[in-house]
Amino acid sequence: MAKFGKIETLEIIRRSGIVPVYYNADIQTCKNVVKACWSGGIRAFEFTNRGDGAFRIFEALIPFVREECPGMALGAGTILDAPTAAMYIGAGADFIVSPCTSAEVARLCNRRCVPYCPGCGTVTEIVNALELGCDLIKIFPAGTVGGPAFVRNVLAPLPKLMLMATGAVEPTRENLSAWAASGVTAVGMGSKLFPKAAMEQGDWAAVSALCRSSLEWFGKA
């Protein structure tokens, strides 16, 4: 299966609502985690560019996801510069995510027709990202900058924004309901979606179940 187009990728993220954020140095663990998320209904996954060998792991994940997880968009996160973004896009990344906003990454992604989700923590940063051509903007660190209340206040004057909150997102009914009610398009969720006990025991069914419950809580709200 070929990589998704820009509009198709954004729609996958919007429909999924929850984007797991993950890195592990072991390729088999990464495959197990991605497949568990897919089995739980997740259709967008961010593999972060952290640690030695991250790119090599991503290269191995791309064909696995295309074959074993149909309909899933696989993005690359923690991308800080255009050369790194170009590597991941060349390897097949469906979207690019940063903890900050990089004009050079935005320009590259625009040329390649790949969604770029930059990290922003103020209204000025958000508007600047819009002017760089970013469609989906990451609120980060979402809990620190004001949580769901920040999102509601931003969307009041800018109701057409597509925002993805990352940071202080937890797989509980109360937390996900609050984020969904704020008006976010999606949320990014890291380690709390992968409980330590389940990971140590290789209980991938438990990870799938938590993904399934999280999607239900977010969707209902």
138 has catalytic annotation: yes
Cβ count near 170 (within 10 Å): 16
46 has catalytic annotation: yes
CA atoms in the 13 A half-sphere facing the CB of 172: 7
Name the domain count of the chain: 1
Catalytic residue among 46, 160, 170, 196: 46
Q: Is residue 95 part of a domain?
A: yes
Alpha-carbon distance values, 128 to 68, 111, 123 (Å): 38, 18, 9
Task: Report the CATH number at residue 101.
Answer: 3.20.20.70
Residue 1 exposed, middle or buried by CB count within 10 Å (0-12, 13-18, 19+): exposed
Catalytic residue among 8, 31, 35, 138: 138
Buried b (16+ CB within 10 A) or exposed e, 63-75: eebeeebeebbbb
Cα maximum dimension of the chain? 47
Structure tokens at 134: 């970013």
Q: Is residue 220 part of a domain?
A: no
Per-position pLDDT tens, the chain of length 221:
568 999 999 999 999 999 999 999 999 999 999 999 999 999 999 999 998 899 999 999 999 999 999 999 999 999 999 999 999 999 999 999 999 999 999 999 999 999 999 999 999 999 999 999 999 999 999 999 999 999 999 999 999 999 999 999 999 999 999 999 999 999 999 999 999 999 999 999 999 999 999 999 999 87
Q: Is residue 219 part of a domain?
A: no
Q: Is residue 221 part of a domain?
A: no
Domain housing 49? 6-212
Cβ count near 29 (within 10 Å): 15
Q: Is residue 186 part of a domain?
A: yes
User: How far apart (Å, rounded) are the C-alpha atoms in residues 45 and 148?
Assistant: 22
